[in-house]
A and B are shown apart, each in its own frame.
Chain A
């Protein structure tokens, strides 16, 4: 169907970094050659190339998941697995190409950077074009780097953890990710370093039919404390797009880490994302997530509580509108004694959208005196929308205390009436009730993200769709 183009020709077209047609010569599909090409253009060490090729084999022989939403319409031969928007990293905002800058400006990145960003790593297509880290953090030894560069600059630590927390063999899309991953963030917080401002990155996918396979690797050393936040948005295109990112987080003893994300992929995207943290003794991991957009999302951030007294919080909200499936949840694996977890998941469904909570709590035999609390709350905004709850609780130690609570409800006409008797229009009342429903999650986000999330909910409500 497509014409094979030699890699050198592609490389030449990339060198020109033509802002309008940089994707002209990229081609869909995946083979050994492409994997080798990605690795060579990134000048990767041999181990990474070997890793990619191993992952490719694994991808080819692994069947798609036998559970969850239907992925049959996702044509894996029709995805562009690699494209490059600009050929080098820039540190200074003034050096960022104009049209890319325009995209970021419309997303509010520069203003945010000036005010509160501690550092920005924004991914435009597959190459990080803008990366900056405030000087004081650099002085404390914090590394906030494009993942491609981290492979070159910090080979030892990258090799120690890369795809160890999320193994390639986890499922078909983690294998695919391992073969074609490109860009993403590497974050290293040294021992006992405490960073109160959130570190931020913004991802955007904008070429038709293009995949995005960014890799995020975060190492939080003993006793350190930090918060990383990223947002994703993608404009609307007609072809099926695939996002199969991967996030790996190592939270070492007594460290504390929060990972927040607001994802808003275009409504034709398959968002098949894998996020996982290892949490050591006395450490704490917190996930805060908002999922909007995409046609099908499968995302279940996972915490593996490996050390005694480790704890994890999973807070999330998903909005399924017309034609969307939000299959999201949380996985917590209690592998050590006295570990605790709390999961609070909220979903909104409208216009026939399907929200599913899919979760796992696993208590290993050796993990005594664990506590886990799961709360799922679904709000149906009309009669044709659907919500499902699929919790799996696997307790192999009798001393565990497990609570699971699931609620599904409709917008209450009585609540709306009550608010209108106080002077609010029906629309304003509905908006207030929905924002209130989302509030336990939004309030955990930094202000500008909370505002953006409320705006996204509002957009979904006023929606041109549904």
Chain B
């Protein structure tokens, strides 16, 4: 589904990612771990087309198409979605109204004209999804993320994820700022997403969430490079020895 080859990324001419290679197949869940500032979040942002970063080398292929030059909009239409580590708070933009516009735009762009909904039907669907996330309905009418707690923000991110039905999901530090109850609810929502047709990339520097969401592959990123990859056994090694083993 996703094939990253020799990716190199710069921000203001400073090299942030280099020689990144990653292959994610349909139905797989990958986790990318690493210390703060290792470039994990940069990779996530680059995958969804953040214009703040410049791709200076390599390829990103999604469903066999090179998406390197596509903007953020084209990528969400193609089916890539990121759950932000710090979702933006936008005053006056009501979550349900914004998501209604976004949902219909995405469905139209994907040619799924039959899925385009009226406000009424959309709100019904949204309400049902909010219930699964134990998100109170009045959050739907509030300003986007405004004044929400860390856990509530992550829930509204998951709500957006569920609404926009992507194929590839990148979870950037989804477990930060969550108490144990919220972590369980979020994990349940994530696990629902683990199907044979989707793929997940979990970016984290804790292994907390991995107790609830089992990955298929584990990668370690340090200083903008993937320095180690393996199966779940790698988790135990990181757990016992930390990231220091990769630092010189």
Report B88-132 CB contacts with A as 1/0, cut-off 8 Å.
Answer: 101111100011011101100100000000000000000000000
* Interface membership of B48, Cβ < 8 A: yes
Binds B, one of A73-81, A106-114, A236-244, A433-441: A433-441
Q: Are B91 and A423 closer than 8 Å at their CB atoms? A: no
Alpha-carbon gap, A187 to B52, bound state (A): 56
* Interface membership of A422, Cβ < 8 A: yes
Contacts of A436 in B (CB 8 A): 90-94, 143-144
Q: Are A423 and B71 closer than 8 Å at their CB atoms? A: no
Q: Are B93 and A433 closer than 8 Å at their CB atoms? A: yes
In the assembled complex, the CB of A421 is this many whole angstroms from the nearest CB of chain B, namely: 5
Contacts of B87 in A (CB 8 A): 418
* Interface membership of B193, Cβ < 8 A: no
Q: Are A437 and B92 closer than 8 Å at their CB atoms? A: yes
Q: Are A417 and B52 closer than 8 Å at their CB atoms? A: yes
Closest chain A residue to B99 by CB distance? A422
List A residues 107-139 near B (Cβ within 8 Å).
none
Alpha-carbon gap, A244 to B158, bound state (A): 54
Q: Which of B49, B84, B109 contacts A423 (CB 8 A)?
A: B109
Q: Are A423 and B92 closer than 8 Å at their CB atoms? A: no
Closest chain B residue to A438 by CB distance? B92
In the assembled complex, the CB of B157 is this many whole angstroms from the nearest CB of chain A, namely: 10
Alpha-carbon gap, A433 to B48, bound state (A): 21
In the assembled complex, the CB of B45 is this many whole angstroms from the nearest CB of chain A, namely: 9
List A residues 359-415 near B (Cβ within 8 Å).
412-415
Q: Are B82 and A421 closer than 8 Å at their CB atoms? A: yes
In the assembled complex, the CB of B71 is this many whole angstroms from the nearest CB of chain A, namely: 7
List A residues 415-431 near B (Cβ within 8 Å).
415, 417-426, 428
Contacts of B82 in A (CB 8 A): 421
Contacts of A432 in B (CB 8 A): 90, 93, 98, 101
Report B131-165 CB contacts with A as 1/0, cut-off 8 Å.
Answer: 00000000000011000000000000000100010
Q: Which of A414, A428, A437, A439 contacts B88 (CB 8 A)?
A: A414
Q: Are A423 and B102 closer than 8 Å at their CB atoms? A: yes
* Interface membership of B73, Cβ < 8 A: yes
Contacts of B52 in A (CB 8 A): 413, 417
Q: Are A428 and B101 closer than 8 Å at their CB atoms? A: yes
The verdict on A424 contacting B105 (CB below 8 Å), with A417-B50, A417-B52, A419-B98 known, is yes
- Scoring A413, A414, A415, A436 by chain B CB atoms within 10 A of each residue's CB, the highest score goes to A436
Report A239-282 CB contacts with B as 1/0, cut-off 8 Å.
Answer: 00000000000000000000000000000000000000000000
- 6 A-B residue pairings within 8 Å (CB atoms): A418-B84, A421-B48, A421-B76, A422-B164, A423-B106, A433-B90
